[in-house]
Structure 1
Amino acid sequence: MGIASVRFGRYAVPLARPVSDAKVATGRQRPLAQLDVLTCEIATADGLEGLGFSYTTRAGTPAQFAHAREVGELLLGEDPSGIGRIYDRLSWAGASVGRSGVATQALAAIDVALWDLKAKRAGLPLAKLLGAYRDSVRVYNTSGGYLQAPIEEVKEKATRSLAGGIGGIKIKVGQPSMGEDLRRLTAVREHLGDGVPLMVDANQQWDRAGALRFGRAVEDLGLVWIEEPLDAYDAEGHAQLAAALDTPIATGEMLTGVPDLVRLIDLRAVDFLQPDVPRVGGITPYLKVAALADHAHLQVAPHFVMEIHVHLAAAYPRDSWVEHIEWLSPLFEERLEIAGGRMAVPDRPGLGLTLAGRARDWRLDEVEFRADGR
């Protein structure tokens, strides 16, 4: 039953086309051209295997890989069912570099692999192991709404997404000209009609006054939420905004520690909390945050990595939204099923994922630890 081997891989998965959001439009970042991924494959002495992964955009995966390589050997011989104990042990192994950021994001790949393995041992999809409330979750598309795309292209992609079974559309805002944001947003709302759920994401673009002006300007558009209107760590500002606007506020994706997400909950700073499993450190800390969010009667709409979050959203008491971005799909053999505005929970054990054979073309580094010393 003990862990017999652990393998970490570092991958650079190219996007079909570079994308730009408000951080690019305002000169803070360059266009995103690839996803950098840390994988973890854990095998036990009885032949079961678990797969987990973490990711970064633009920078950080080499550091994640280095940290995983330092602590990974500690997994050998451990009972993989003791996920909480293992998490604590690895956290203390890297305690001098903190309990958030790169270190815990490296642990996220390990933690996800352990949960995948546990569900496989039970012969259940992860959602059902966790106690699923439903077999599918609401799904919205983001990848068609980035700022580098002309508005006609955004509208066309939205139409294709809806025809393919997607239930909602999110577009990026936060350009230097708020007027241009409003023009694009109004054009999309008119194209979709009032009945299609529509979200916007500003990627931390505005100050408090600017966010309030935007929020008041779009109140009649019936948005599901305004995402990341302020700096991710401005919990007080988000609380003020949430209290002032009728349109719901969503944020939390950039926060890499449980206490920062809990602060959003405590201050009633969000209507939709958006934790990200790889960023917050794995499924183990995510579940702590989700329990507190439910206690506070909040909606949860986890950020990105639909391959993991479809399971966690299905196991949340309130019907959640999951974000459809297909960038990681080439890494895996399997595809998620979408129809009628919802994403189905895979019926395969665990996450229901295996690495694709072509993934080796994007692998930059690999290390393996084995209990037999080979």
Structure 2
Amino acid sequence: MTTTVPAPPRSTAPAVLDRIESVTLSSVTLPLPNPISDAKVFTGRQRPMTEVAFLFAEVTTEEGHEGVGFSYSKRAGGPAQFAHAREVAPDLIGEDPSDVGRLWTKLVWAGASVGRSGASTQAIAAIDVALWDLKAKRAGLPLAKLLGAHRDSVRCYNTSGGFLHESVEQVRDNATRTLEQGIGGIKIKVGLPDSAEDLRRVRAVREHLGDGVPLMVDANQQWDRPTAMRVSRRLEEFDLVWIEEPLDAYDAEGHAQLARSLDTAIATGEMLTSVAEHAELIRHGAVDVLQPDAPRIGGITQFLKLATLADVANLQLAPHFAMEIHAHLAAAYPREPWVEHFDWLYPLFNERLETRDGRMYISDRPGLGITLSEQARAWTVDRVTVGAVR
């Protein structure tokens, strides 16, 4: 006997769980203890970096849920991000925060006349990250678990101790302290006008670390194609994990030539500001280790699209900067990733990510697991709240 159970009557009410009540945007300037120089400074293309501009977004809902996200800009662009976010944020008021992908598209089209990459999408990124943080908090889960974690920790390497403004002796001392803190790998900067000095520094650090410690180098886009090929071949003797940004970020063909010619992996992508730009690298076979930056490409919504493309292409993943966001995203990537450790952002948050045995551990705190410090509030240079204020 077959029994048919009638379906319940279809509701005509919208499936809205909550609504966004307000968005608070803060422009925060983080001062760095010392001026920072990479190869772009030594080639005369940029000045030393003395501060980093952050855009924080705090989203509050009618039900009392809150999410926090951030984007950033180095040397220039911070005020532009804040201004753009302030213009498009009113379009969020009254929307259901669960619909993150739809809201990303809505915000992009609200400001599409200035493009769908660069400063405009970096502004949207702060809001997008806040919406994902809110979504995970409402579920009572760390973001990595909400996305579907493949691991509870990720391999990590340090960059902040390897810049070119410091002597090679200081870089070696920094590396020793880094390893003592439980961080697994060391990345140092190269790309000086004198390639012999680059090789001297790499040799000194490799000899200091020994053969068992993962070592990476980063030329910050300062080589032309012949130089990149010549120096990279010399670098292969040091058993590097990867050679990063040997060429201009948009030179997909040049990177592809290097990737085909070298045994050492080629890493790049951090300076690109859209999924489409990264897709060009993948299409050309120009990269072995993809290095997307969620705040730069538009947030977590866009990062997840790119991660799928990278996985289909069998690529390694090593997100750039912003470890407070990227640890979660890397933990949800199917292939074993790397996450970049920077201690620059420590003053901005009340929490710390745990590092031990060469790995960075995902906390059990809901969402991103971060709250803004009083110091971050003190460094705020502009602030606006859109919508109702509690």
The TM-score, its normalising length taken from structure 1, stands at: 0.99
Identical columns (%)? 67
Please state if 1:213 is matched with 2:225.
no
Please tell me the residue identity of whatever aligns with 2:88.
V
Counterparts of residues 107-146 of structure 1 (less than 5 Å): 107-146=124-163
Which residue of 260, 271, 275 maps to 1:243? 260
Secondary structure of 2:50's aligned partner: strand
Distance 1:329 1:47 in 2: 27
Structure 1 position 299, deviation (Å): 0.2
Question: How far apart in 2 are the matches of 1:188 and 1:85?
Answer: 48
Q: Tell me, yes or no, if the aligned pair for 1:77 and 1:371 is still in contact at 8 Å.
A: no
Task: Verify: 1:226 aligned to 2:265, yes or no.
Answer: no
Matched, 1:280 2:316: no
Aligned partners of 1:203 and 1:227 also within 8 Å: yes
Question: Structure 2: which amino acid aligns with 1:73?
Answer: P
Tell me if 1:171 matches 2:181. Answer: no
1:38 aligns with 2:55: yes
Query: What residue in structure 2 maps to residue 253 of structure 1?
Result: 270
Residue number in structure 1 paired with 2:348: 331
Is the counterpart of residue 155 in structure 1 residue 153 in structure 2? no
Taking the TM superposition and a 5 Å limit, the aligned residue runs for 1:331-350 are: 331-350=348-367
Residues 250-283 of structure 1: per-residue CA shift (max 9 Å, x gap): 0000000111101111111011000000100100
| Among 335, 356, 377, the residue aligned to 1:360 | 377
CA distance in 1, matches of 2:279, 2:346: 31
Measured in 1, the distance between the counterparts of 2:371 and 2:284 equals 40
How many angstroms apart in 1 are the aligned matches of 2:188 and 2:116? 33
Pick which of 159-168 and 355-364 moved more.
355-364
Secondary structure of residue in 2 paired with 1:322: strand
Question: What secondary structure, in the 3-state scheme, does the structure 1 residue paired with 2:164 have?
Answer: coil
How far did residue 369 of structure 1 move? 1.1
The residue matched to 1:218 in structure 2 has which SS? helix
* Displacement after TM superposition at 1:219 (Å): 1.1
1:99-136 CA-partner distances (Å, limit 9, x unpaired): 10010000000000000000001000000000000000
**CA offset at residue 43 of structure 1?**
0.4
Distance across 2 between alignment mates of 1:194 and 1:145:
18
Verify: 1:84 aligned to 2:89, yes or no.
no
Amino acid at match of 2:287: V
Q: Which runs of 5+ in 1 are unaligned?
A: none
User: How many Å apart are 1:371 and its aligned residue?
Assistant: 3.7
| Partner Cα distance (2:142, 2:33) in 1 | 30
- Rounded Cα–Cα distance in structure 2 between residues aligned with 1:202 and 1:178: 11
Could you tell me which runs of 5 or more consecutive residues in structure 2 were left unpaired when the two chains were aligned: 1-17
**C-alpha deviations, 1:334-367, integer Å up to 9, x for none?**
0110000000011100000100012122110000
- Cα distance in 2 for residues equivalent to 1:18 and 1:291: 37
Is 1:48 the counterpart of 2:65? The answer is yes
Higher mean alpha-carbon deviation, 49-58 vs 322-331, is at 322-331
Q: Distance in 1 between matches of 2:108 and 2:190?
A: 37
Q: What is the aligned counterpart of 1:317 among 334, 346, 349?
A: 334
Over 6 Å off, 4+ runs:
none
C-alpha separation in 2, matches of 1:270 and 1:221? 20
CA distance in 2, matches of 1:220, 1:61: 41
Amino acid at match of 2:308: A
The answer to whether 1:9 aligns with 2:26 is yes
CA contact (8 A) 1:35 1:327 kept: no
| 1:295-354 Cα distance to aligned partner (Å, 9 max, x none) | 010000000000000000000001110000111121110011000000001110000010
Structure (1 or 2) with the larger CA radius of gyration: 2
Find the counterpart in structure 2 of residue 57 from structure 1.
74
**How much has 1:16 moved relative to structure 2?**
1.4
Partner of 2:84: 67
2:175 alignment partner AA: A
Select which of 182, 188, 192 maps to 2:199.
182
Give 2:121's aligned residue.
Answer: 104
**Pair 1:201-2:218 in alignment:** yes
- Aligned pairs, how many? 373
> Separation in 2 of the partners of 1:272 and 1:294?
11
Partners of 2:183 and 2:272 lie apart in 1 by 27
Give the letter for the 1:234 counterpart. Answer: D
